[in-house]
Amino acid sequence: MTDDPVSSTSGRSDPARFNGGSTSGSLAVGRKLQPKRFVRQQIPDDVLLNEDLNDAIAVLPANYSFEVHKTVWRLKQAKAKRVAIQFPEGLLMYSCVIADILESFADVEHCFILGDVTYGACCIDDFSAAALGADFLVHYGHSCLVPVDVTKVPCMYIFVDIKIDTEHLIDSIRFNFAPGSNLILAGTIQFASSIQLAKQQLASDFPSLIIPQSKPLSPGEVLGCTAPVIAQSADAIVFVADGRFHLEAIMIANPDIPAFRYDPYGRVLTEEHYDHLGMRQARRKAIETAQKAKQFGLILGTLGRQGNPRILDHLQGIMRQKGMDFTVVLLSEVAPWKLDMMSNVDAWIQIACPRLSIDWGDGFHKPTLTPYEAMIALDQVPGWWQVGVDSKENYPMDYYAKDGGIWNSTWQQKNVRAKVKA
């Protein structure tokens, strides 16, 4: 997130601008007032040029941007003394080094590492940070899915931009696609800057190349549960990531567009496939089975911010109106063996991660629906297979999209595209 803005670079306040009126009548009439201008606060030289700090930073990988100078300065500004830091599994190996740096150079008295598993930005654990007495939380590796004005303690997100061999990515695209192809370029947040650079350098060969955006995500960013819907005229999706999880989200949202994955570490471009028919058949079967259930279980995920109480309240309201029996269960990890212990439940609705149901639904012995699937089962929205449904919608992957359906979990103001039945 950006630092707090300050007024003009001169450091002087214009009394006419900030004190509620002009200093003279001639000022208001004879001179056009300039619009307010703001600049980001600059990191001071005693942080940027601190030799000991820079030596400590040099221990970290040079192509990983942990934004240490910015973090040190922000913590100094906040006068933070007890700081919690949170990492996804792939970055946890750097946590101790960063904790030492923050304690040594940011006037932090105690920096503690949140060790619970972190799957994504939805797992930001501001509740645990607050419970541990932290006065600041730094979350690494994900974009700001949960706004900082919502978190229980002051928070900043560090995307951890990773520099890759962009020239090889560009050469791979030029070699495999005909000039003028309508390409879509996207990936995970770590490679956002490389994706933007590649687009600029590919502009002459692929003038129609697009980096899509599903707000509030950054341009080109895709989550495992949230991906943009792309125009059918696109010839191919090129996705920059070292795994398939995020790629599968954009494939599910756009099943008719060929998808290719560029692995920035293996430097390999491969065509990827997904069993759309099998997934849809499995999810439809789960929905139709759940519609026959007598007793429902509503799971509110407690891993970070995965579970959204607003969705829980909405579902409870619908089910009460219908006179349905249900039980609310709080779980940090939604595992089949845990659900099996509650044998009286005929079907589950999990408000945690949609991919738990989509990817591993067959592993649960009772139907385990996503909020979207629950809305279908409760007759609030039509299923994608039903007559009259726009086939272009497909299976939606809009869980955190600003313009997502009534089932989604966004913290942003949104225009709801689906209406609840009366």
What pLDDT sits at residue 26? Answer: 35
Residues 6 or more apart from 290 whose CB is under 8 A from it? 296, 346, 347, 349, 367, 369, 373, 374, 377
Tell me whether domains 45-162 and 166-272 share a fold: yes
Alpha-carbon span 92 to 277, nearest angstrom = 37
Give the Cα separation of 12 and 406 in Å (integer). 48
Q: What is the pLDDT of residue 41?
A: 64
Indicate the CATH number of 45-162 among 3.40.50.11540, 3.30.420.40, 3.40.50.11840, 3.90.1150.10.
Answer: 3.40.50.11840
Tell me how far apart the alpha carbons of residues 381 and 417 are, in angstroms, rounded to a whole number. 11
Query: 68: which 2 tokens?
Result: 């240490």
* CA pair distance 306, 266, nearest whole angstrom: 32
Q: What is the CATH number of domain 276-393?
A: 3.40.50.11860
Alpha-carbon distances of 213 from 41, 75, 207, 253, rounded to whole Å: 28, 31, 18, 13
What's the whole-model pTM score? 0.84
Residue 146, pLDDT score: 86
Q: Give the β-pairing of 295-301 and 347-351.
A: parallel
Q: How far apart are CA 337 and CA 187, in angstroms?
A: 34
Average pLDDT over the chain reads 88
Lookup: tokens for 212: 């899509």
Is the domain spanning 166-272 CATH 3.10.580.10? The answer is: no
> 289 with 345: CB under 8 angstroms?
no
Kindly list the strands in the beta sheet with 347-351, ordered across the sheet, starting from the edge strand earlier in the chain.
325-331, 295-301, 347-351, 368-369
pLDDT in tens, 154-211: 999 999 999 999 999 999 999 999 999 999 999 999 999 999 999 999 999 999 999 9
Convert 108-141 into a string of H (helix), E (strand) and C (coil).
CCEEEEECCCCCCHHHCCHHHHHHCCCCEEEEEC
Q: Which residues of the chain have pLDDT under 70?
A: 1-41, 387-393, 411-422
Q: Which of 155, 48, 56 is nearest to 103 (CA)?
A: 56
* Residue-level pLDDT at 393: 59
Residue with tokens 């056009």: 32
Contacts 24+ apart (CB under 8 A), 275-283: 276/251, 276/252, 276/395, 279/252, 279/358, 279/395, 280/384, 280/385, 280/395, 282/361, 282/362, 283/357, 283/358, 283/361, 283/373, 283/395
DSSP state of 191: G
Distance from C-alpha of 301 to C-alpha of 75, rounded to nearest angstrom: 30
Helical axes 245-253 vs 276-290, angle rounded to 10°: 80
Provide the token pair at 24: 């003279």
Domain boundaries in the chain? Answer: 5-40, 45-162, 166-272, 276-393
Interatomic CA distance for residues 140 and 370, integer angstroms: 27
